[in-house]
Every structure is written in C-alpha cells, then in structure tokens.
Structure 1
Amino acid sequence: MEEIARLHGAVNAKHAKIVAKKYLAAELRVDESIEFNPLTDLYMDLSKAEEPTYARGGQALTRDEYTRVLRYLLDADPQDVERPRRGRWTREQRVIERTACLDIILAQATMGLRISELCMRPVADCHVDGDGTFIVVLEAKDTKTRTGRQVAALAPEVSHRLANRLDTGSPWLFPSPSDPAKVWDPRNRDRKLAAVYQELATELDIEMFQHERGHSCRTTNNTLLYDLLPEAPRIRLFGHSKAVNRQKYTAITTTDAIVAAASPLFDPALR
C-alpha cells in the first residue's frame, strides 16, 4: 500500500486499504481463515506519497459560465457522432451514448447529485410532480451520508429531457447503450463523459473542465445558491454535513459581491 502511495498518491493508497480491509480481510475473518483483521490498526507511512498534479473539487463555474454550459448542452445535437469504422458499436448506439452523456451532465448541473446517486438510479426512484419537475428520491441506503432525500431538477428544460427517460422501457435511468436491461458500466461511462467535458472546455473556453468533472456541479450549485437558499436546505439538498459544505463545496467565482459588501467599511475612511 505504501508502494501504491509512492506510485499513485496517498488517496489511492487509502482507498486500497479500505477495499482490502472490508472485502478481503473481513471476509477471511468471517471464514475463520485469520483470527483478526490486520488492517484495522494498520499504520501506513505516506510521507513519500506521489503528489497529485492537481486536486479535483472546490472549484465552481461563474454564473455566466454556468449559463453558457447549460445552453450548449441543451442545444447540442445528439446525432453529431462519427460513424464507427469498425468494432461492435453501431452509430445508433453512439447516438444513445452521446444523448445519455448530455443528459447526465445536465442532470448533475441542475440537481447536484453525485455521479453514483444519479447513474445507478432505477426509474422506479424517479417521478415528475404536478408542476412538471423531475424528481429523484434517494433512500438512506443509496446515499453517502445514509440520509434519504429528494432532489429536483432546477431547470424546466432539463426536467422535460429527464422525464422522457422514464418511458424508454429500461429499468434504469441511464442504462447501458448496448443493453437497456443493464446499468451503464461506470468505467466506460466515465470515459465517455470525460470526452464531453473536454468538448466543453474547448468549445466554451472553460479551462476548469480540462480536469474537473461532474462533481464540480455540486460546488457550482451550492455556490450559486449561497445567497438564495438558507444553509440548512442547501445541506439537505446536496447530502453532506455543514462542515463539509463550507470547506469543500463553496467557492469564490467572482469578487463583485465581496467588494460591494465590504465597500461601507472602507469607502468613508478613504474619502
């Protein structure tokens, strides 16, 4: 694990320890192959861990960038895909794949859901209310904090697009492009989403998307709603603690509001 840290960073080493502790050592303990879990109190020296080239998270789009991203995604043509020259993928599957990627990013941008909360969602957990708003109902077992919540799409156009996904006949909101009966494989899905984020970075000149992905939507939503929605419902909406909300999901995207708020403190003294 320390070698993993040296080669791939401390975060990956910690993840490896969690997986090994829970799914390997714990199972061996249950089977009585070992007497105790050796990973419970394991100390790892991470002082020589590889430093990441960048740290994801904590960044948010400005209001102008956010608006441009939504407009681009809503106007994007899902049919704009190249015909595959070889392989098992058909052009129809590529269109389904691109449509799903556009809808996933739109959903995250207007709902602030974690990628797992959104893309592993059965359609049975989704509905449209009387006002036409698309809503995802998360049970406690489906959330990171083990607290259930309901999340609504904040943009009517996005609600309409997501509502159409409930009538495809698939049990999943975002099924596999090649087999609607199965959920989309996360590794393949994330690779395709990364390509769309690179497209956004290039076409809209938003440098952040060169390395940031859908999780940045949570910071963006929380930041843009900061002055519009009290902290308690925002915490409930995004499903994390007050401390985490303040430390990791609030970003400064413009200094205008700060300067305006501080001006009474300094203007008189400088006149």
Structure 2
Amino acid sequence: MTDYITQVTIPAIERAPLENTSRRRYLIGVGHLKDRFTGYSIADATRFRTLESTLQDISRLHGKASAISSRTVLSRYVLQQLIRDEVIDGNPLSGMTIDLDSIALKRQTPKRGGQALTGDERERLVTYLLELDTTIESPPWTTGKARPRPSSRAKHDRVVALTLLQAGTGLRVSEANCAKWSDVDVDDDGVLNISVAESKTDRPRRIPILDPRINQFFRERKPDKDDDLHLIGSPIDPTTAWEDGNCRKCVAASYTAWSRELEIPLLEHARTHLWRTTLNELTKGVLSTSQRAAFFGHTEEINRQAYTDLTNIDGIAASAGPVLGGDEPVQGTTRKTTRKLRVVE
C-alpha cells in the first residue's frame, strides 16, 4: 500500500489543479497515511475497519482536521485511483460515517486566529521591528551563541520582513512567501501593490501595502534588476520560497520572544493569521464587509465568522483616524493610501 501511495497517489496530488495550501495539507495527510499503512497489503489496507481505525488514529494523534484531510486524500487520491486501476471495485468509505470527534486530539493551547492585536500593540510591534538591525542582532533561536551564523541572521531578517509584510497587507503566510517582486507594481503615489494570483476564492486580487512606513521598508529592499526574487525568500536562496516548516518554526520562536520583550501576551500563542483579524478590525470604519472580503481574499460570510474579534473593539475606534500608523507619508506619496482602501474591489 505504501508503494502504491508513493508511485500513484503523490504524483496525482502533484498534478492536480490545487492551491498550494491544499496541496501541502494533502501531502501532510499522505505522510500520516503512509506511517499507518506500513506493512499492509492493498487488500488489507482497503478493508473498511482498517480505514476506519487509521482515520481514528490520526484524529487521536493529530486532531480531527488532520483526519478529515486524510480522509479526503484516501477517497480522492488513493481509493479512486485503485478503482481506476481495477484493483478494487468500489470506495469502502462511500456513505460511511466515522466517529472522529470523541477521540480527537484536544487543543491544549488557545485557538489561533480570530483574535486581533490592539492598535497600541500593533504600533509597538511594528515600530520595534522597523528599528531592528537584523544584520547584527542575534535572533531568539540563537540565544547563547556569541556570534550568530550568517544563516541565523538571514532567518532573523526574513521573519522580520515577513511579519512587517503581513502587518501591512494581511496576506496569508503562504501568499506572502510566494510573492515575487515581479508581482509588485508602484503606483503614481509611490505605494507598492502586490498582485495575488491565488486565494481561497480563486479570484486574483491586488493589495496595497497600507502602512506608509512598511511601504518604505520594502521600497528600500526592492532589487534594482532581478524581479524574479521573492519579497521574503528562503534564508539560503532568495530565488526560492521559504520552506513552510522552517518558516513557521522561526516565526514561532520570534513571536514568543517578542511577546515577552514587548509585553504582548497574544503573541505567546497566536501566529501569522492574527494579522488578518487585526487589519480587519482596523479597517472596519473604512471598508464595507464586501470590500474587506475582497481585500483579504475570502467570502463575506467567512469575514463575519472568522475575522471579527469580539474581544477587542480598539481597532474600530482607531479606524476613524488614519488607517494605520506612521506620522510621515512615504517619500513620493500622500495620505491617499487611506482613500485607496475605499475602492478596493
């Protein structure tokens, strides 16, 4: 069974017209399945009771969401392929209910997402990151080393740039890491706009960097010639995207350190998705629900359900003034950034 998954399932997922986030999620599901099917023949692995216990085991160890994703992989990319190859006659999972709830791994930490930084917290963090000298300061994951390695300094630089990009755009971490300088244009006011080809709504969108200070930060990083470079890029090779697992480890280490340094408790457990909720709150007084949904690349219903922080209303009041901080406009720009938000489609 594991040989079949390697030779047929993985190539089928890689060929499928999937978003990058879905493809990564399914390949993680493949890993869970291969771990549990080691030593099984195809005949034994495709018995319903074997499939059921496999999915329940994944739910118990990795959570219900991982089990649901693994079931999708099983049905679409394993069992359907076996039917096409005339190895089995039908899908044993079709129409069958499996209890994935009662034994699912329970979250031990507060749920990530759905919470926003206050206006003051966001301002403190953005100001702090803009003032950091990542060429000499030791990243939090190299604490105790007298001289951080160049790769460590590069990781520190990338996580700071990634955080500022998300703080100014609300891009998903996958979108931010995929963005290249060839996707960026500069309008007449000097504002950088990022074209996002893929999103969960399958509709491309064009996102301005909202905060003038962050806009200037990326203007100074913009390469003179090679537009094929990534805005963030791998710490080892800026021509490639930052590998997801390594990126998330560095983000987690940094957020935890910043939480203590700046006394922002939310950063202790929240991660990159908090920026979408934060900007959603800050732009409520400027953008309609439909405009915010278009800006963040999701539906209006998702905007209401998942990106409204009912525990924090500071951002709503803050939106009556400038959308985001910064006393000085970007060189060559005006405060038209705020007005641009009103016409995002």
The equivalent of 2:173 in structure 1 is 115
Quick check: 24-33 or 11-20, which moved more?
Answer: 24-33
Q: 1:237 aligns with which of 275, 295, 307?
A: 295
- Quote the offset at 1:155 in angstroms: 1.0
Change (3 A) 1:42 1:230: same
Q: 1:224 aligns with which of 238, 261, 282?
A: 282
Quick check: 212-221 or 91-100, which moved more?
Answer: 91-100
- Quote the offset at 1:29 in angstroms: 4.2
Structure 1 CA distance for aligned equivalents of residues 290 and 59 of structure 2: 37
Change (3 A) 1:19 1:91: same
Q: Percent identity?
A: 35
AA of the residue aligned to 1:195: A
Structure 2 CA distance for aligned equivalents of residues 217 and 114 of structure 1: 9
Structure 2 CA distance for aligned equivalents of residues 236 and 255 of structure 1: 22
Change (3 A) 1:31 1:129: farther
Structure 2 CA distance for aligned equivalents of residues 158 and 257 of structure 1: 19
- Quote the offset at 1:61 in angstroms: 0.7
- Quote the offset at 1:204 in angstroms: 1.1
1:70 aligns with 2:126: yes
Q: 1:144 aligns with which of 168, 177, 200?
A: 200
Structure 1 CA distance for aligned equivalents of residues 94 and 231 of structure 2: 38
The equivalent of 1:51 in structure 2 is 106
The equivalent of 1:162 in structure 2 is 218
The equivalent of 2:69 in structure 1 is 15
- Quote the offset at 1:14 in angstroms: 1.5
Change (3 A) 1:50 1:77: same
Structure 2 CA distance for aligned equivalents of residues 7 and 137 of structure 1: 38
RMSD: 2.7
Q: 1:208 aligns with which of 266, 278, 297?
A: 266
TM-score (ref. length: structure 2)? 0.66
Would you say how many aligned residue pairs link Structure 1 and Structure 2?
Answer: 253
3-state SS, counterpart of residue 105 of structure 1:
helix
| Deviations 1:124-158, CA, capped at 9 Å, x for gaps | 2222222221211112xx11111111111101221
The equivalent of 1:177 in structure 2 is 235
Q: Retained in 2: the 8 A contact 1:132–1:156?
A: no
Structure 1 CA distance for aligned equivalents of residues 93 and 183 of structure 2: 37
3-state SS, counterpart of residue 193 of structure 2:
strand
Change (3 A) 1:73 1:30: farther
Gaps of 5+ in 2: 1-54, 317-345
Quick check: 18-27 or 205-214, which moved more?
Answer: 18-27
AA of the residue aligned to 2:127: R
Quick check: 248-257 or 157-166, which moved more?
Answer: 248-257
Quick check: 211-220 or 76-85, which moved more?
Answer: 76-85
- Quote the offset at 1:236 in angstroms: 0.6
Structure 1 CA distance for aligned equivalents of residues 266 and 142 of structure 2: 30
Q: Retained in 2: the 8 A contact 1:127–1:163?
A: no
AA of the residue aligned to 1:160: Q
Gaps of 5+ in 1: 259-271
